[in-house]
Amino acid sequence: MSKAIHQGRNVKRFREMLGLKQEGLAYELGEEWSQKRVSLLEQKEVIEQELLEQVAQVLKVPAEAIKNFDEETAIYNIQNNYDSSTNNCSGSFNEFSFNPIDKILELVEENKKLYERLLEVEREKNSMLNKIKFK
C-alpha cells in the first residue's frame, strides 16, 4: 500500500532546507503572492502541476522531488545505508559527479541574493510609507 505524499509539507521542507521564509518564497513567486498564501499552499496535500512546477523552479528543485519526497523512506534509506556501511567497511566510497560543498555554497549565495532582494523591497516599501506620512 502506497502512502500519500503531502506535497505542501514537502514544499515547506525544501523551503526550510534553503533557509527561505514564507515571505521570501511569496516574493519570488510574484506580486499576487503573500506569506498567508504560501502558508495555505504548504497545507495542501496535492498541488496543481503548473503551480508545483512554478514553486519548484523558485526553490531550484525538480517538481518530481516535491511530488515524491517521503521523509520516512529517506530516513529508512539513510539509516540502512549507514548501518550497512558501518557493518561492511569495504573501503568503497560514493563518488559524486559534483562537489557537494560547492552545491551548498551555491545555495548559500543564492540565499544571500534572495535576502538582499527582500531587504531592498522592504527599504522601498518603507521609503514609500514615509513619503505618504509626510504628505
pTM of the shown model: 0.54
**Burial of residue 21 (number of CB atoms within 10 Å: 0-12, 13-18, 19+):** middle
Q: Which of 97, 8, 17 is nearest to 60 (CA)?
A: 17
Instruction: End-to-end CA distance of the chain: give it in Å, rounded.
Output: 65
In the DSSP assignment, the letter for residue 117 is H
Which pLDDT tens digit goes with each residue over 23-74?
999 999 999 999 999 999 999 999 999 999 999 999 988 888 888 877 666 5
With 70 as the cut, is the pLDDT of residue 126 above it?
A: yes
The answer to whether domain 1-86 has CATH 1.10.1580.10 is: no
For the chain, the domains span: 1-86, 97-135
What is the rounded CA–CA span in Å between residue 118 and residue 115? 5
Contacts of 32 (CB under 8 A, 6+ apart): none
Name the one residue in this structure whose C-alpha cell is 534553503: 18
Contact 63, 56 (CB under 8 A): yes
Q: Which pLDDT belongs to residue 43?
A: 96
With 80 as the cut, is the pLDDT of residue 16 above it?
A: yes
Specify the amino acid at residue 127: S
